[in-house]
């Protein structure tokens, strides 16, 4: 066995052969009979694993896309010596990889092409941190919000979950698909960037709950009831328009906060106390003044003793503002990692938001919550990062081209 002696040349030949083999296995272009659904394109007669979300278009996928069951976020630090030309090369390679993988086809250099044949609505969303613009010598094009969030008194941030020059959000309805795409992209980037942090999250599996069910977090609450609806009237709050720098028009901003939940103390509260903390019923998710999840809360309602039905410090009261601009698209995932010694669990939320302007939309709400929110007794932000998400690729373009091209 001289397996270890096989060199680069054989590898390249293999890569091409592998591609052919995998195409026969399932890599494919869209065909007649494919079904276009709000959840992606599903092959005629295929399984949920064959569904794809188009990559090319005015906007990157993975923002307005209905959340897939799984997401892994990888933030990278750029290596010393990387310059703008290197970033262009990385973005060209990633663009090609992402286009292939999201279409259910292996990447050109894919060493596990068989793992690429179940796209399962795979999307890859790429974002740039402040360091990316610095390395690209494009700091003059940096929007003011592309910087670490201001410190909040509730924060207990850890370096291991914060910052990053570059991020990929990889989402799919199958974890093998996610793991494979993460591996391909990380390996391709290895001469340009090293992983800084990795966060994996999950929601319900495909098909286990009725479509349109709001996710529950591991505290048991419905999480995400009052959310922006991409494609509806709130689009200007999500996507950057004329007010942003030209290279970001059609793009957005991404905030990633890692929110640890103290389930042990939370579980000491009874249900009524927990409902007061949130301002919603735990069973239906209805506001304490309503009967159904999507009922508008009556913040002015008072009970027999003259006290507010939705308490002054309740999360749903504190998380809304009179300013209609102070909203954002949430696209969060649960995490549940092995507990450190002496603890029963290590759970929380990978809280991901998209908004046209972090400073105008996200920060004021976060400031209100940091100031006063009953939920703060049981949740702690332990990670924080902000990225600019460039617009999608037109035909022939690569990701970030409007920023990087001369």
Q: What pairs with residue 381 in β-bridges?
A: 259
CA dihedral 189, 190, 194, 195 (to 10 degrees): 70
Task: Tell me: does residue 77 bind its own copies (CB under 8 A).
Answer: no
Q: Do 70 and 200 form a contact (C-beta atoms < 8 A)?
A: yes
Pick the closer one to its own copies by CB: 232 or 344. 344
DSSP string, 224-253: -SS---TTTTTHHHHS--TTS-GGGTT-EE
Separation CA 301–CA 77 (nearest Å)? 50
The least distance separating its own copies from the CB of residue 75, rounded to whole angstroms, comes to 11
Q: What pairs with residue 170 in β-bridges?
A: 72, 124
Residue 266: φ, ψ to 5°: -60, -40
48 CA to centre of own chain: 21
**Segment contacting its own copies by CB under 8 A, of 3-11, 54-62, 144-152, 297-305:** 3-11
> Residues 3, 31, 232, 291: which binds its own copies (CB under 8 A)?
3
Separation CA 403–CA 387 (nearest Å)? 14
What DSSP character marks residue 15?
H
Task: Tell me: does residue 372 bind its own copies (CB under 8 A).
Answer: no
Pick the closer one to its own copies by CB: 137 or 312. 312
The least distance separating its own copies from the CB of residue 127, rounded to whole angstroms, comes to 19
Residue 101 burial by Cβ neighbours in a 10 Å radius (0-12, 13-18, 19+): buried
**Contact positions with its own copies (CB under 8 A) in 168-227:** 173-177, 179-180, 182-183, 186-187, 190, 194-195, 197-200, 202-210, 216, 218-220
Residue 50 burial by Cβ neighbours in a 10 Å radius (0-12, 13-18, 19+): buried
The least distance separating its own copies from the CB of residue 388, rounded to whole angstroms, comes to 24
Size of the site for its own copies (CB under 8 A): 84
**Contact positions with its own copies (CB under 8 A) in 98-157:** 111-115, 118, 120
Q: x/- site string to its own copies, residues 318 to 357, per CB under 8 A?
A: ----------------x-x-xx--x-xx-x----------
> Residues 71, 126, 256, 277: which binds its own copies (CB under 8 A)?
277
**Contact positions with its own copies (CB under 8 A) in 20-39:** 21-22, 25
Task: Tell me: does residue 263 bind its own copies (CB under 8 A).
Answer: yes
**Contact positions with its own copies (CB under 8 A) in 223-262:** none
């Amino acid at each position: 066995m001289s397996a270890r002696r096989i060199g680069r040349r054989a590898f390249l030949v293999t890569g091409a052969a592998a591609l052919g083999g995998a195409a026969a296995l399932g890599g494919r272009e869209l065909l007649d009979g494919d079904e276009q659904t709000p959840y992606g394109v599903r092959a005629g007669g295929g399984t949920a694993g064959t569904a794809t979300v188009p990559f090319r278009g005015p906007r990157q996928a993975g923002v307005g896309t209905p959340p897939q069951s799984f997401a892994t976020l990888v933030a990278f630090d750029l290596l010393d010596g990387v310059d703008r030309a290197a970033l262009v090369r990385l973005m060209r390679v990633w663009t090609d990889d992402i286009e292939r993988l999201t279409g259910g086809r292996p990447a050109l250099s894919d060493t596990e092409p068989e793992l690429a044949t179940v796209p399962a609505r795979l999307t890859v969303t790429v974002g740039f941190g402040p360091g990316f613009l610095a390395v690209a010598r494009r700091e003059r094009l940096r929007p003011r919000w592309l910087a670490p969030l201001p410190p909040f008194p509730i924060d207990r941030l850890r370096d291991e979950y914060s910052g990053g020059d570059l991020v990929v959000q990889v989402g799919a309805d199958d974890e093998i698909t996610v793991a494979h795409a993460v591996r391909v992209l990380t390996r391709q980037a290895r001469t340009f960037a090293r992983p800084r942090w990795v966060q994996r999250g999950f929601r319900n599996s495909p098909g286990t709950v009725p479509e349109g069910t709001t996710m529950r977090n591991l505290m048991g609450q419905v999480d995400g009831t009052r959310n922006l609806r991409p494609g509806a009237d709130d689009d200007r709050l999500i996507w950057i328009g004329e007010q942003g720098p030209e290279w970001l028009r059609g793009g957005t901003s991404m905030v990633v906060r890692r929110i640890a939940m103290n389930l042990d103390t939370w579980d000491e509260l009874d249900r009524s106390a927990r409902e007061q903390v949130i301002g919603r019923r735990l069973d239906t998710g209805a506001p304490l003044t309503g009967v159904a999840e999507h009922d508008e809360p009556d913040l002015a309602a008072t009970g027999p003793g003259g006290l507010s039905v939705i308490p002054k410090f309740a999360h749903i009261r504190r998380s809304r503002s009179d300013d209609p601009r102070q909203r954002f698209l949430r696209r969060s995932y649960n995490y549940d990692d092995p507990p450190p010694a002496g603890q029963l669990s290590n759970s929380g939320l990978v809280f991901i938001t998209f908004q046209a302007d972090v400073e105008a939309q996200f920060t004021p709400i976060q400031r209100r919550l940091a100031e006063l929110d009953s939920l703060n007794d049981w949740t702690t932000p332990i990670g924080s990062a902000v990225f600019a998400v460039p617009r999608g690729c037109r035909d022939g373009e690569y990701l970030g081209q409007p920023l990087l091209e001369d």
